[in-house]
Amino acid sequence: MSSTPSQRADHQEVEALVRRYHRVERIWSIAIAVLVAIVAVVALFTLPLLVGLFVALGLLALARAPLITRTTTTSAVTDAGPSTVVSEFDDASPPNLVFQWGLADSVRATDDGGAYDFTYFFGLQSATMDVDVDVRPGEPPETDLVATLEIVATTNGRSWGTHTVSVRDDGDETRLEIESTTDRRFGALFLVQGLVADRYYEDALAAQGYTVLERNWSLSVL
CA 95 to chain CA centroid, nearest Å: 11
pTM for the structure as a whole: 0.86
Rounded (5°) CA angle 96-12-151? 15
Least confident of 57-71, 117-131, 136-150, 173-187: 57-71
Q: Which CATH number fits domain 11-221: 3.40.30.10, 3.30.530.20, 3.30.2320.50, 2.40.50.90?
A: 3.30.530.20
What does the pLDDT look like over 102-135, one tens digit per residue? Answer: 999 999 999 999 999 998 777 778 899 999 999 9
Between strands 113-120 and 106-109, the pairing is: antiparallel
Prior bond to 141 cis, omega within 30?
yes
Listing DSSP states for 149-208 in one string gives: EEEEEEETTEEEEEEEEEEEE-SSSEEEEEEEEESS-B-TTHHHHHHHHHHHHHHHHHTT
Among candidate residues 63, 17, 72, the one with its CA nearest the CA of residue 194:
72
In DSSP terms, 177 is beta-bridged to: 75, 166
- Binned at pLDDT 50, 70 and 90, residue 187 comes out as confident
Averaged over 152-171, what is the pLDDT?
A: 92
